[in-house]
Amino acid sequence: MLKQKLPPLVAGQRVFIVTGKSSAAASGALADALEALQGAGCACEVYSGVENNPTQANCMEGAARARAFGAQAVLGIGGGSPLDAAKAVAVLATNPQLADVFAPHDVPALPIYAVPTTAGTGSEVTQYSIMTIQGGTTKKSFSGNDLFPRAAFLDAAYTASLPVQIAADTACDAVSHAVESVLTPSSNAASELYALESLRLLSRYAPAIRKGADGEARLQLLWAAALAGVAIAQTGTGLVHALGYALTCRENLPHGRANGLLLASFVKRCQPFCPQKVERILQAMGISCVEELDRWMKDVLQIPNPGEEKAAELAAIALPQPKLDACPFPAGEEVRKAIYLGR
Ligand code: NAP
Ligand code: ZN
């Protein structure tokens, strides 16, 4: 599909390809992209220096390379980390004066194309790019209309090489996106449609991951992740992501796993404030209560929580006020600690 659909979009252009260390090659997507682009008369350069949870410095290095190459388009291949980095590169390559990518700005970016090799972040359909603050305890995002990829190529062949634990972690990220999207005050009829359909697919296909998901299951998980991405493109994420960033930065927990650990506890706390929304989430997943959601997440993830002492430290980290304001319940430090402990 990539080989047929990408060439007419970028024929004859100078395409800068942004990837992680090895997933683009291991998935087979890089070879397909290079073959397609070379056949379409494109000049290509590959930047394979994106770290997991990329920093701005990491993206600036990529942007400097893209500028030197004279890039006219950026193709991100990989999980959310390379896709987000590709977006930052697309902005920074054309706007080298932009010292702080997070400062409010409305600057144009190079056209972005995305090939996800994980089924989780939905970055291939969102306007967000998320980066780790250098030496910091959390992450920060920036967004803009130009960050929406012009096209995303969802091919289950590219997730076949995913290790089981990464597939489970990333599926839980998609569940978090869909659930948080429904539970944010900015959720609406359209975003909920995408989120609930995403949950329907995730509940059906994510349990297959531990049994060796076949091509059909992997394709449905890619769709589910993208649908959840469309939902958060409209609503943003919520408290779970805000708390999860600290788990990733402090405890080095993968993004999706961090969210998965916190989700059921968050939903339990939302229930008295928005019972109908919670009911619709459970119904879409075909489960009867929040305790069952907790068991469902634990079955998929198979990871314990961080323990009392760590939970207290993590809960003390300040969160952005908008995330706290958007939370359906008061999320003070004690409550945040309990969520870290899965209570
Ligand atoms: P990731 O950090 O992109 O990748 C995790 C690991 O999986 C890496 O070691 C990667 O290898 C490997 N991998 C990826 N695809 C593979 C494949 N097909 N076969 C084998 N290994 C593969 O993980 P992610 O969970 O997809 O992305 C997380 C990032 O996305 C976080 O920074 C998060 O903040 C961000 N995010 C963005 C959005 C958004 O809307 N923009 C939403 C949610 C999350 P390599 O190092 O070789 O690539
Ligand atoms: Zn996420």
Find tokens 């975003």 and name the residue: 191
- Please give the DSSP secondary-structure letter assigned to residue 55: B
The per-residue pLDDT for 228 is: 98
Q: Residue 168: CB within 6 Å of ligand 1?
A: no
Q: Which atom of ligand 1 is nearest to the CA of 160?
A: 18
Q: Residue 53: CB within 6 Å of ligand 1?
A: yes
Q: Quick one: which ligand is closest to 120's CA? A: 1
Q: Quick one: which ligand is closest to 140's CA? A: 1
Per-residue pLDDT tens digits for 23-67 = 999 999 999 999 999 999 999 999 999 999 998 889 999 999 999
Ligand 1, atom 48, residue with closest C-alpha: 20
Q: How far is the CA of 50 from the centre of ligand 1 (A)?
A: 10
Q: Is 163 exposed, middle or buried (0-12, 13-18, 19+ CB in 10 A)?
A: exposed
Q: Residue 132: CB within 6 Å of ligand 1?
A: no
Q: Residue 236: CB within 6 Å of ligand 1?
A: no
Choosing from 55, 81, 245 the residue with most ligand 1 atoms within 8 A of its CB, the one to mutate for a pocket test is 81
Contact 343, 306 (CB under 8 A): no
Q: Residue 140: CB within 6 Å of ligand 1?
A: no
- Please give the DSSP secondary-structure letter assigned to residue 134: T
- Please give the DSSP secondary-structure letter assigned to residue 50: P
**Exposure string for 94-124, b = 16+ CB within 10 A, e = fewer:** beeeeeebeeeeeeebbbbbbbbbbbbbbbb
Ligand 1, atom 28, residue with closest C-alpha: 80
In Å, what is the CA distance from 145 to each residue of 112, 172, 217? 11, 26, 31
pLDDT in single tens digits along all 343 residues of the chain: 999 999 999 999 999 999 999 999 999 999 999 999 999 999 999 999 999 999 888 999 999 999 999 999 999 999 999 999 999 999 999 887 776 777 767 778 999 999 999 999 999 999 999 988 777 677 888 899 999 999 999 999 999 999 999 999 999 999 999 999 999 999 999 999 999 999 999 999 999 998 888 999 999 999 999 999 999 999 999 999 999 988 888 888 999 999 999 999 999 999 999 999 999 999 999 999 999 999 999 888 777 777 889 899 999 998 989 999 999 999 999 999 999 998 8
Q: How far is the CA of 318 from the centre of ligand 2 (A)?
A: 19
Q: Which atom of ligand 1 is nearest to the CA of 81?
A: 3
Ligand 1, atom 32, residue with closest C-alpha: 53
pTM of the model: 0.93
Ligand 1, atom 25, residue with closest C-alpha: 170
Q: Quick one: which ligand is closest to 84's CA? A: 1
Q: How far is the CA of 85 from the centre of ligand 2 (A)?
A: 15
Q: Residue 144: CB within 6 Å of ligand 1?
A: no
The per-residue pLDDT for 140 is: 85
Q: Quick one: which ligand is closest to 30's CA? A: 1
Helices 189-205/275-285 angle, 10° precision = 40
